Amino acid sequence: MTINIDQANQKAIDAFMDARPVVVGVAKAKDVIPGMHDKLFLHAGPPVTWARMAGPVRGAMIGAMILEGLAKTAEEAEKRLASGEIEFAPCHQYDSTGPMAGVMSPSMMVYIVENITTGYKAFSGLNEGRGKVLRMGAYSEEVLNRMQWLNTVLGPAVDTALKEMGGIDLRTLLAKALHMGDDGHNRLDAASLLYTNLLAPYIAKNAKDPSVSFEVIKFLGENALSILNPVMAGCKTMTMAGHNIEGSTIVTTMARNGTDWGIRVSGLGDQWFTAPSPIVKALYFAGFTEKDANPDIGDSVITETAGIGGFAMATAPALVTFIGGTPRDAINTTLDMYQITFGEHKHFTIPFLDFRGTPTGVDLRKVVETNMTPRVNTGVAHKDPGVGQVGAGVVSAPMKVFEDALVAFAEKYGI
Amino acid sequence: MTINIDQANQKAIDAFMDARPVVVGVAKAKDVIPGMHDKLFLHAGPPVTWARMAGPVRGAMIGAMILEGLAKTAEEAEKRLASGEIEFAPCHQYDSTGPMAGVMSPSMMVYIVENITTGYKAFSGLNEGRGKVLRMGAYSEEVLNRMQWLNTVLGPAVDTALKEMGGIDLRTLLAKALHMGDDGHNRLDAASLLYTNLLAPYIAKNAKDPSVSFEVIKFLGENALSILNPVMAGCKTMTMAGHNIEGSTIVTTMARNGTDWGIRVSGLGDQWFTAPSPIVKALYFAGFTEKDANPDIGDSVITETAGIGGFAMATAPALVTFIGGTPRDAINTTLDMYQITFGEHKHFTIPFLDFRGTPTGVDLRKVVETNMTPRVNTGVAHKDPGVGQVGAGVVSAPMKVFEDALVAFAEKYGI
């Protein structure tokens, strides 16, 4: 079989860049995610069993059980989760992406993000803010009450606003935010402000009660990660547009479940390549150290997969105050990533590098050739269930997943 | 007399930096600006007579006459303005600052910005957005209707919101915005978003009608210069805090009326030093060229006087798409300005220059020694009354005003 890898890769990244994700609404997971059912709980990263499941994912699963009314206490929840009555599956296998633990259960409200170029839809939950939150493995009453409020108050208010305004074009919004010091992953200050500003008038106009619009607009505006989840679903629609291209070595999924780090490759279908998840090099919040850290976790590395996040750090120098390092390191990270990517983004550009496009489309071949893996900006969860976020930093993907995938590629295509 | 200029200058810029301007409310100019009266119309820059008044200022004065009910037509307004019945004075002489033409008439609503460190208050009008607007010299029905809406709907809604939330701290907000790609003058995208985000919940909560909160929040959110006027008044409170320091060569006012460029100096009281206003090196909007341009105009150079705007361009590389040049030029502008300023800002920092403080406090001596004048980012108005904005760009202050001031300084202090 003759394959033209470069041609296939170009086709893949063109599809990434031509994708135009629009946030169109908010709805219950089980009403909109194809294949979702009452006993299916999704999680970040590649597949994992209860026995091998990381602390923060266990914590979020416990919270989800209580939220779904399937357990009254953490003990009861754990017992039922361990019993096998709940099916676990990666978000990525259900057109979804979840930050950190990434747990999505059937009755949670999720954003619907449509790539209007192809019609493909992806999904992600509602962002809870920073600190003690379900996605970091916390499940206290305060955490679950906030989740309830998101599901019953904020979610419906945002859905009504999105429907009236005809959705929000995420590609345009992200392109602007990258010119405002965001990396598009760990720093979404500008993007979240842009998002809240677009929504606020429509929330104010349609809320049943001014006190509801007050609370919803304030919550969205004060949460610098309000837009993280729709951005992740948007990036998923970009990379899925370039998935399953025969002969392509472009990575279309990168994801971690806190135990394993996994990738999938355009020309290799839905097969996962996994390796143990590394510890993040991080700035820790007061009172925590690396000993508290769970290994790298979450689907948010879909942003780097699509060409932003750590790959666009050169445009987000202020981020170093949150994740460590110097502005020079931020620039070098982006320059390094050009060495392992196939192209430069048409729509996402970096003013300080003379408006050069962000490094886009991780190429298996280049990762192995240069012996350099993708660098990711990320949050760090406590390793135990029930605690929450302990820091933020930078991590490099394990080389093994790229090597294994390249071997599989060579075998499949007989190179 | 023995004077220690460096000591005086340090005192002046310490006062700039210790100022903490807070936007506290919106009210009618004649109700809050000390000395304002029914026949006093303020304008940008140093003093100017009707005979020498630039086209855009004349246009804005005509609009103000109609808004005040003092004329029904442009012809009638011009006749009365030329008759001497209206007193003209610089905004800066009435604790105020006005962008571009900077016309403020008695019944216009103005922002009240208080330096909570000293209690000093400064004032500035409500921003109309870009394009065909009163501050650019336009006075069509559309322009005047928008002014009416600002005065009767947006102004009161923002006032109520500001009062309930206890005001907005501009120094903190600007420090953030400089980390989000704003220069604080021509690019205020991030600052205006931050501003709208803070106001929106309180506007939504207090508006009489959801359709009013919809319109007000949408207008503020879509106007990337919403915060320009409060920022200017805030910068005025900073520089006034360092004004009238015996023996200081720090420039505390820079301002243009479209005919003359003027400065005032901390150690030289309220005396203006003026020279003809230069033409701006600009990117012109479609259909316009330099032939249409009025010479440099407006009080917005108060931002550069306080240490942001053109002086902070290194943090705003995306601005070059609007005003011309390359990101390297933006960095060089900031590096140049360090040569003519006395210090570096404690609160306003530039991530890309390893969080170095912005160049703060133009020092007369250094301007003359280096033969380099302050560089300013600015909008460009059409030279004829009634047209509006035609472009945006960069301009250097005329050397003569600094030379004249230095001579006056030497004379006053017998050096």
Q: What is the pLDDT of residue A333?
A: 95
Report CB contact under 8 Å: B181, A215. no
Average pLDDT, chain B: 96
Q: Which two tokens stand for residue B410?
A: 């030497």
Instruction: Give yes or no for a contact between A276 and A54, defined as CB atoms under 8 angstroms apart.
Output: no
Select from A194, A317, A326 the Cβ nearest to the Cβ of B193: A194
Judged by CB atoms closer than 8 Å, whether chains meet at A201 and B181 is answered as no
Distance, in Å, from the CA atom of B230 to the CA atom of B99, rounded to the nearest integer, reads 11
Of A197, A207, A355, the CB nearest to B196: A197
Return the domain boundaries, chain B.
Answer: 244-413
Rounded Cα distance between A96 and A33, Å, is: 8
> A191 CA to chain B: closest CA distance, Å?
10
Q: Which two tokens stand for residue A70?
A: 């399937």
Q: What angle do CA B218, B224, B226 make, to 5 degrees?
A: 70
Contacts of A210 in chain B (CB under 8 A): 204-207, 210, 213
The answer to whether the CB of A296 falls within 8 A of the CB of A274 is: no
| Closest Cα in chain A, distance from residue B340 (Å) | 25
Judged by CB atoms closer than 8 Å, whether chains meet at B200 and A205 is answered as no
For residue B45, give every residue at least 6 positions away whose Cβ sits within 8 Å of its Cβ, in sequence order, or none: B90, B102, B255, B256, B257, B258, B259, B260, B261, B262, B277, B297, B298, B299
- Predicted pLDDT at A399: 98
From chain A, pick out residues whose CB is under 8 angstroms from the CB of B173.
Answer: none
pLDDT for the residue B1: 57
Right CATH for B244-413 from 2.40.170.20, 3.90.1700.10, 3.30.465.10, 3.40.50.300 = 3.90.1700.10
Which residues of chain B neighbour A197 with C-beta distances below 8 Å? 193, 196-197, 200, 221
Which chain A positions have a beta carbon within 8 Å of B328's beta carbon? 354
Find chain B residues with C-beta within 8 A of A193's C-beta. Answer: 190, 193-194, 197
The strand pair at A40-43 and A87-90 is best described as parallel
The residue of A197, A199, A226 whose CB has the most chain B CBs within 10 angstroms, and thus the best one to mutate to test that interface, is: A197
pLDDT reported for residue B404: 98
Q: Do A200 and B205 touch (CB under 8 A)?
A: no
Provide, as residue numbers in chain B, all residues whose Cβ is less than 8 Å from the Cβ of A355: 327
Nearest in space to A379 (alpha carbons), one of A340, A328, A307, A324: A324
Question: Looking only at Cα atoms, what is the longest distance across chain A?
Answer: 65
> Considering only alpha carbons, which residue of chain A is nearest residue B188?
A180
pLDDT the model gives residue A415: 87
What is the structure's pLDDT at B323? 83
Is the CB of B351 less than 8 angstroms away from the CB of A202?
A: no
pLDDT at A322: 81
Does the domain at residues A245-413 carry the CATH identifier 3.90.1700.10? Answer: yes
Side chain identity, residue A220: L
A19-232 CATH choice from 3.90.1150.10, 3.40.50.920, 3.90.1710.10, 3.90.1140.10: 3.90.1710.10
- In this complex, do B221 and A213 lie within 8 Å of one another by their Cβ atoms? no
Distance CA B275, CA A70 (A): 78
Q: Nearest-CA residue of chain B relative to A221? A: B197
Residue contact A354–B326, C-beta within 8 A? yes
Q: Which tens digit of pLDDT belongs to each residue from B322-364?
A: 888 899 999 999 999 999 999 999 999 999 999 999 999 999 9
Closest CA to A271 of A406, A113, A134, A369: A406
Q: Are B333 and B314 in contact (CB under 8 A)?
A: yes
Cα–Cα dist B76/B86, whole Å: 13
Residue B322: CB atoms within 10 A of its CB come to: 18
Number of other residues whose CB lies within 10 A of the CB of residue A127: 26
Average of per-residue pLDDT across B86-93: 98
For residue B321, what pLDDT is reported? 84
Q: Which tens digits make up the pLDDT trace of B287-322?
A: 999 999 999 999 999 999 999 999 999 999 999 888
Q: How far is CA B275 from CA B8, B255, B278, B406, in A?
A: 26, 11, 9, 14
Question: Cα–Cα distance between B308 and B351 in angstroms, integer?
Answer: 14
Residue A21 bridge partners (DSSP): A115
How far away is chain A from the Cα of B70, in angstroms, using its nearest Cα?
36
Answer yes or no: is pLDDT of B124 > 90.
yes
> What is this model's ipTM?
0.94
Q: What is the DSSP letter of B255?
A: E
**Lowest mean per-residue pLDDT among A321-325, B75-79, B276-280:** A321-325
DSSP state of B319: G
Distances (CA, A) of A388 to A42, A192, A258, A260, A391: 19, 22, 13, 19, 10
Cβ separation B200–A190 shorter than 8 A: no
Strands (E), B199-327: 251-257, 260-265, 273-276, 281-284, 297-298
Contact B190 A202 (CB under 8 A): no
pLDDT at A1: 57
Pick from B213, B221, B328: CB nearest A197: B221
Per residue in A368-386, is it b (16+ CB within 10 Å) or e — as a string? beeebbbbbbbbbbbbebb
Of A200, A210, A218, the CB nearest to B221: A200
Query: Nearest-CA distance from B210 to chain A in Å?
Result: 5
Residues in CB range of B2: below 8 A, 6 or more apart: none
Distances in Å between the alpha carbon of B383 and those of A395, B122, B285, B290, B319?
Answer: 56, 29, 14, 10, 24
* Residue A143, C-beta contacts closer than 8 angstroms, at least 6 positions apart: A63, A128, A132, A133, A134
> Which chain B residue is nearest to residue A161, measuring alpha carbons?
B214
Q: What is the pTM of this model?
A: 0.96
* Chain A residues close to B198, C-beta within 8 Å: 221
What is the band of B207 on the pLDDT scale with cuts at 50, 70, 90? confident
Distance from CA of A236 to the nearest CA of B (A): 26
What are A364's two structure tokens? 């298996």
CB atoms A204 and B181 under 8 Å: no
Classify residue A324 as left (phi > 0), alpha (psi -120 to 50) or beta: left
Q: State in Å, rounded, how far the first CA of chain B is from the last one.
A: 9
Q: Which residues share a beta bridge with B112?
A: B25, B123
What are the residue ranges in chain A where pLDDT is below 50? none
Test A201 with B180 for CB contact under 8 angstroms: no
A200 and B194 within 8 Å at the Cβ level: the answer is: no
Q: How far apart are CA A391 and CA A360, in angstroms?
A: 27
pLDDT of B211 over the 60 cut: yes
Residue whose C-alpha is closest to residue B202's, from B238, B147, B160: B160
